[in-house]
Every structure is written in structure tokens, then in C-alpha cells.
Structure 1
Amino acid sequence: MRALRILLIITVILGGIFVAADRIAVNLAESEAADKIKSSQGLSSTPEISIKGFPFLTQVAGKELEEVDVSLTGITATAGGHSVNVTEVKAELRNVKIDSTFSSAVADRADGSARISYADLTKAAPKGATVGYAGADRAAKGQVKVTGPLTDLLDGAGIQVPGAFKGLLAGRTVSTYSTVALKGGSTVQLRAESLPTLPVPGFDEKLRKVIDYDLKIDGMPSSIKLDKVQATDGGLRFSGTGTSVSLAG
């Protein structure tokens, strides 16, 4: 019995050593992958990497990881020369194959998501405009609320109002619901549902050109195509999928 107890103790100790070695190895691999992703994607900060599955060393021996989760920061959206942060950027990569030199990896499939807050959407909006949550019913239709003083919107776009008409526009506020759509997998379009009729000839079309604008999301892996956008109470949430997505290299 004493020999059996000793054997069990040794087994537990060896098992603990293996688990410790496995966790050390996965931590080193996560750190190395994070540095490579930062370099290859040109990010301003190091992403967070989480390699799932146990044991890790067995997966490495087979040169395929079951799942790798990536959280990115330093992603931006641009519109009209303005740059804003994209928050909560995540990618879940499945069946990640490692090459023979362990220098790069490619995932069979990746599910990506990102969120832009209304505060950041406002930063990229036309000067004078505020973008906000439109309520549950409108959000279900993929709409956001856009508001702003009419004269501020026109002045911000460099549109001159003839002096004879300035009094007619003073004090007016534009309030509309804009439908959000995706184009080309990386460009977000905001298009107003309706706009007020202005008492100045030709200015209805000019206001439309101010309110309707595009946002281009930069920095996402090119092989992940965003194909869905949702308006939530916290901002716009985007999601998409990709195949043969490079994790590092």
C-alpha cells in the first residue's frame, strides 16, 4: 500500500508539472502571437490573445489549435478626415493551423465583431451633428438619431447662406432618423430617412449632402468581411466572418 501511495503522489506531482509546463508554454505562445499580430496589422497597441483547449502542447505537436480568441485595440474609423476609435474589437478563430516553422498561422474560419459608441460616431459626424440612440423600435430597423442646429450644420460644411435668408434659417434644428448600412465590408453608410423642407431654394439638396455621410473602418484583418450592423443602446455593433484568416506572420 505504501508503494501505491508513493506512486500516486509521484503521478500527481508529474501531472502538476505537466500542467504548469503546459500553461507556461501557452502564455509564451499568446505573448508571441500578440506581438506578431501587432506588427503585421500595424496596430498602435498589443492585442490580447487567448488560446483555448487543453493540453496546449498536444495541439502544438499536431500543428493545429482548436480556438484562438483575439481582442484588438487601436482600430479606427475615418470620415471626412476625422478619426475615431472602434471599441470592443474581437475575433474568434477556429482550427488555426500552424506552419512547420511556427512563424505564422492561418485559421479556417473567423468570426469578428466591433462596436463604435455614439460619442465616437458623433466625432466623425458632420460638424454640428450629434448621433444618438433612436430607441428600441427605430434601432430594430437599423436606425440612429441625428440632430443638430441647421445653421451649424451648414456652416460646418462650408455652405454659405445668402444674407436675405439667414433670418429664415436661424433657430431651426434638424432632427432625423438615419438608416445604417454596410458597403464593401468596411464602409458604414448613414442615410437620413427624411429631412425638413427649407425655405431657401436649392438648400434641401445641400442639407442632404451634409447629413448623409460614410464611415470607413480601418485596421480589421482584410480577410474578415463585416456583413451585419446593429444599432444598440451602446452604439453600432458590427459583425462578420472570414475564412483562411492569417493570425500572424
Structure 2
Amino acid sequence: MRALRILLIVAVILGGLFVIADRVAVGFAEDEVADRLRTSEGLATTPDVSIKGFPFLTQVAGGELDDVEIGIEDYEAATGVSGQNIRIDDLNAQMRGVAFTGDYSSATAATATGSATITYAELLKAAKSVESGPVEVVPGVTATIVGLSDGGNGKIKVEIEATVAGTKLPQPVSVLSTVTVEGDTVKVKADSLPNLGIDLADNKMRTVTDFEQKIEGLPGGIKLDAVEAAKTGVEITVKGSNVSLAG
């Protein structure tokens, strides 16, 4: 019995040492991946990296991690226009089946899914009327988008400031719009035309109400999958395959 107790004590001690070594190793790996991801993506801050699953060391021995979570607080995505980026907030991605080299210089996920947010203030910059100024929708009538907000039920509320015969309307008029994604582009389209008290040409007014924003160069080559209007902005989901975390 004494020998058995000694063996049990030794086993517990060794098990504890293994757990400590495993957690130290996973912490080192998370820091390495985070640093390399920051460098490869040109990030302003170091992202959060969390390697899931236990034990970590047995995953290392197999050369593949089951589950890695990446968190990037602010990401500047390209828009296809030179010198113009769009800020994406709270980009979180879950990577599955991450194969890596021994020095973590290269890591690639078999699949990735994630989510992020584009604030309404940021999306407002994409509206064509904001960039080019008021648009003459009919002779003597100009209009421009001045605000975006949550319209409820998955819609965006678009506020439009209009001037009729040189007189600005006392309050902006608003329309509810539907947001969709097509390829690498977020599109906003009004469900109906705003009521300015006059007849409007549909195609001309939609140059104000409808706009789109291209989003390119997301980390690791992940792509837009879906969008939905929410309280603080447009929530996007992303997905990808053979996604590069480093290297």
C-alpha cells in the first residue's frame, strides 16, 4: 500500500508538471502567432490569440491545432479606392484545423468563420452623396444623406436632407433600407423613395439613397459572407478556407 501511495503521489506531481508545461507552451505559442499576425497584416495593435483544446503539446506533436480564436479590435480594410480604407471593429474569427511549422513562421487554417461590425458613422462615408455633395434629383431640388442608424427589424434608417427651391426642409426625411452583401461589396438599397412632397425620378433619387461599399483585404484572405443591420452598425459575418494566420 505504501508503494501504491508513492506511485499515486508521483503520478499527481508529474501530471501537475505536465499541465504547467502545457500551459506555458500554449502561452508562448499564442504570443508567437499574435506577433507574426500583427506583422503580416500590418496591424496597429497586437491581436488576441487563444489556442483551445487540451493538451496543447499533443496537438503540437501532431502538427495541427484543433481550434484557434483570433480577436482584432480595429482593422483597416481596403475599399478599392487608393488611399481610402474602412474601419472594421471587433473582428473575431474561429480557425479550425490549423496546420503550422515548428517555429510558427507559417500557420494555415483549413476553415474559418467569424464576425465583425462596421459602425454607421463609418458606413456613412461610403454614401456617394456624402462624398460628392448634394445631388440635384429634379430641377431646383437637391438631396444628400446626413445620417444612418438602426431602423429596426434588420433595416437601416437613412436620413436625407433636402433643399427645395433654395429652401432647406426643416427636418431630414428618412427611408428604411435593406443591406445585403454581394461578393466583396456591402450594398444599401432603399425600400421606397423618400417623400419630399414632389414627384421624383426613381433612378435619380436612388443615386442618393442607394450606395455600396467594397471591402477588400481582410486578414488571411477571409471573405464577406452575410450582413445585417443592428443597433450600433452593420454586423458582418465572414468565412474562408485555407486561411493564413502567419507566414
Identity of aligned residues (%): 47
Q: Pairwise CA RMSD of aligned residues? A: 2.8
- Residue pair 2:173, 2:196 contacting (<8 A) in 1 also: no
Return closer, same or farther for 1:32/1:102 CA change in 2, 3 Å cut-off. closer
Question: What letter matches 1:248 in structure 2?
Answer: A
CA distance in 2, matches of 1:54, 1:211: 52
Return closer, same or farther for 1:76/1:187 CA change in 2, 3 Å cut-off. farther
Deviation above 6 Å: which 4+ runs of structure 1? 78-82, 199-204
CA distance in 2, matches of 1:78, 1:102: 27
Partner residue of 2:157 out of 139, 145, 153: 145
Shift of 1:244: 0.8
CA distance in 2, matches of 1:31, 1:239: 26
- Residue pair 1:77, 1:216 contacting (<8 A) in 2 also: no
Partner residue of 1:135 out of 143, 152, 156: 152
Shift of 1:35: 0.7
Shift of 1:230: 1.5
Taking structure 1 as the reference length, the TM-score comes to 0.80
For 2:75, the equivalent position in structure 1 comes to 75
Counterparts of 1:1-249 in structure 2, within 5 Å, are: 1-76=1-76, 83-99=85-101, 102-122=104-124, 125=127, 126-127=129-130, 129-136=146-153, 139=154, 143-151=155-163, 165-167=165-167, 169-171=168-170, 173-184=172-183, 186-196=184-194, 206-221=204-219, 223-249=221-247
CA distance in 1, matches of 2:9, 2:211: 68
Q: Which has a greater percent of helix?
A: 1
Question: What letter matches 1:73 in structure 2?
Answer: E
Q: SS state of the match for residue 11, structure 1?
A: helix
Q: Say how many residue pairs are matched.
A: 230
Shift of 1:223: 2.9
CA distance in 1, matches of 2:220, 2:204: 34
- Residue pair 2:178, 2:191 contacting (<8 A) in 1 also: yes
In structure 2, runs of 5+ residues without a counterpart are 131-144
- The C-alpha deviation readout for 1:31-56, integer Å capped at 9, x for no partner, is 00001111111211111001011111
Q: Which has a greater percent of strand?
A: 2
